Amino acid sequence: MADHPSPSNRDLTYLQRLLISFAIPAYRWIWFNSVFGSMRLINTFVVRGWLVLTLTDSPFWVGAAPAMRGITQILLGVFAGVLLDRIDRKKAFLVAEVGTTIVSAIMAVLVFTDQIVLWHIFVASFFEGMFMAIRWPVINTMILQTVGPERVLNASASQMLGFNLGNVIASAVAGIVVDRFGIGTGYLFGTGMGVIASICILFVKGNFKPVAQEQTVSIRQSISEGIAYIKTHTTLMYLIVLALLMSFLGWSNFSMLPVIARDVLFVEASGLGFLTSAGAVGSLISTAVIAGLGDFKDKTRLIIWAGVGTTIGILAFSLSSNFLLSLILIFFMQGALMAFEVTITATVLLVTEDKMQGRVQGIYTQVFGFTWVGGIVLGAIAEFTGAPIAIAIGGIGIGLTIFLIRERIKDVEAD
């Protein structure tokens, strides 16, 4: 664990609280990786969504293609978590980043040579899911190791701030690039961002080896220990369940954005890019606010109110058929979603023992795979009801979830 004492919130201005984790050099490079890694990731979302819609003209396949990534992430996440409790996390991080970048480069070649077909996209999604199953838990555990528990809410929020900064830039750029230069150039842009993100990891200094443990324990036993640990820590279990449902019902809505952009708002790929970018601006501001809270204690209240805001935002967005209004609504919707994710991620880190971080994070980050699994469900619903109704169903589900589970997480600080 990092040895960087954190001054009291009362002794700092808002700007000082916002930047408190940046005093640590290793964290700064992790943050830069988040910016460029996000640009690669979001570029893939925009480019792939438009490519699938162009190839198939089907909301179902728009949701199904990224679902392969989600399914892979869910299946491999727990194994990745066990590995992260056994191997050097920085090396694992680099392998995941480079691997995802290679996938983007291959897709660019296939598009440029006019060889691309639908099954190629599914194979690419499989490998993306495999590498993301490593990337998400490793970056969370490395942040905790780098900044320590007192700064982890700030560091997690600041990391997502960097992620969303890259999201804002890449969303707009990707749409414009696809409109003007084609889908292949869009993939090439993502490849370049992945190369820069990989280089950033090389500059992260520190000891990122896991806490020493008995290596004679089998992988199967390690997985069982991780699941048993979560079951015996009820607050942690409910936090993970809440995050799973938010991914399945909330973030999954974004897989339908290509359909909403073309068939409801009547805009081209650049319009999809600006729609995604508006949501990213909301996330950016949301994470900046949370990062500025410093070591905020009442995390339960943040989680609940972010869930309420998400419900309202999704329902309002599903009713809009005006492009400018939709830009405003997705700004608020994604800001609330990101506030929820940042706070719950930091809280899961805080209530987990050091020796269990890898296994718990492996299981926890599996829930983000349900974003893409939810996408295929929404796509199937949208085939019959239209995308707006499918999105509204997710919003109603989130509202009911928050109402039913709110009492279960009241003791989050005490667990």
Query: What pLDDT shows up at residue 122?
Result: 93
- For residue range 175-188, list pLDDT tens digits in order: 888 888 999 999 99
By percentage, how much of the chain surpasses pLDDT 90?
32
Looking at this protein, which amino acid is placed at residue 375?
G
Residue 291 pLDDT exceeds 80: no
Q: Is residue 11 part of a domain?
A: no
In a domain, 135, yes or no: yes
Q: What is the pLDDT of residue 414?
A: 43
State which residues form the domain around 295.
Answer: 25-209+220-409
Residue 5 lies in a domain: no
CA dist 350 and 356 (Å) reads 12
Residue-wise pLDDT for 233-245, tens only, equals 888 888 888 888 8
Within a domain: 15:
no
**Is 263 part of any domain?**
yes
Is the pLDDT at 349 greater than 90? The verdict is no
The share of the chain scoring above pLDDT 70, in percent, equals 91
Q: Is residue 7 part of a domain?
A: no
**Average confidence (pLDDT) over 127-148:** 86
Any idea what the CATH number is for the domain that residue 275 is in?
1.20.1250.20
Q: Is position 13 within any domain?
A: no
**pLDDT score recorded for residue 26:** 93
This model's pTM is above 0.75: no
What is the domain count for the chain?
A: 1
Task: Say which range, 2-6, 328-332, 385-389, has the weakest mean pLDDT.
Answer: 2-6
Q: What is the mean pLDDT of residues 364-393?
A: 85
Q: Let me know if residue 115 belongs to a domain.
A: yes
